[in-house]
Structures are given as C-alpha cells and as structure tokens.
Amino acid sequence: MERRKRIIKLLLPAMLMTCLVVLSSCEKYAWAKLEVPQDLVVSYSGNIFPFCQGCHGAWSEDRTYDKLFANVDTVTPASSRVLSIHSSITAFGSQMLQVDTLLLPAPDVIKIWASQGAEKD
C-alpha cells in the first residue's frame, strides 16, 4: 500500500504538468470580421429568394419579394423590420449565404441588398 501511494505521489504531478502543457498549447484564434467588398452585388433572385424559400416555400417569388420589400428599410438597412421579425428564429441569424465567393450571415446579406436599393432582379 505504501508503494502505491509513492507511485501516485510521483505520477500525479507529472500528469498534471502534462495536462497543463497540452491545454496551454492549443492554438488561439482572433477572428476578425470579414471585410465585404464595396462592389459586392447581392441578387434577390440568386441569393435572397432561395434562402426565403426555406421557410416560405409556398409563397411565389413575387409574394416573397413584396413581403420582404415592405419590411426592409433601404435608408437604414440595419433597422429593417424583417431583421427584428425574424430575430427570434435561431436559424435566421446563424444561416450563412454564399454571395460570389464570400460566405456571409443571412442578416448581413439582407442589409447589403437593402443598401443597394432592394431591387428585384
């Protein structure tokens, strides 16, 4: 029994040090917010409508556009009602959309589209 205690006393600090070294060696990332190019064009039919169809699949493209446009503020896109209406839906805020070569959060894509005049193309 005495031998067992000595072995534990010797191994415990070594195991603790090993754990600390492993945990402290993990890489840490400082994620910077993605800079969106000024010339990025968001298309309603190519980017927004396919995303909206996930929840509003029974709606036509015209009806989806009309409802969305009625709740989008083209002057101050960040204050668009569509963002506050859908804010309680977890998938809305975490869903990523492909626009050209960028992967952007859905609310950001809608804001960019609104800032570009919310055209139906």
Task: Tell whether 71 is covered by a domain.
Answer: yes
Structural domain range at position 77? 44-115
Number of domains in the chain: 1
Q: Which tens digit of pLDDT belongs to each residue from 4-16?
A: 888 888 888 888 8
The whole-angstrom separation of Cα 27 and Cα 21 is 12
**Does residue 15 form part of some domain?**
no
pLDDT digits (tens, 9 = 90+) for 97-107: 999 988 999 99
Give which of 102, 104, 70, 106 is closest to 87, Cα–Cα: 106
Domain-embedded: residue 14? no
Residue 23 included in any domain: no
Residue 98 in domain: yes
Instruction: Establish if 85 belongs to a structural domain.
Output: yes
Amino acid 34: pLDDT: 73
- What b-and-e string marks burial along 11-46, b requiring 16 or more CB atoms within 10 Å of the CB? eeeeeeeeeeeeeeeeeeeeeeeeeeeeeeebbbee
How far is the first Cα of the chain from the last one, in angstroms, to the nearest whole number? 81
Is 39 domain-assigned? no
Does the global pTM surpass 0.75? Answer: no
How would residue 108 be classed by pLDDT, with cut points 50, 70 and 90? very high
Whether 32 maps to a domain, the answer reads no
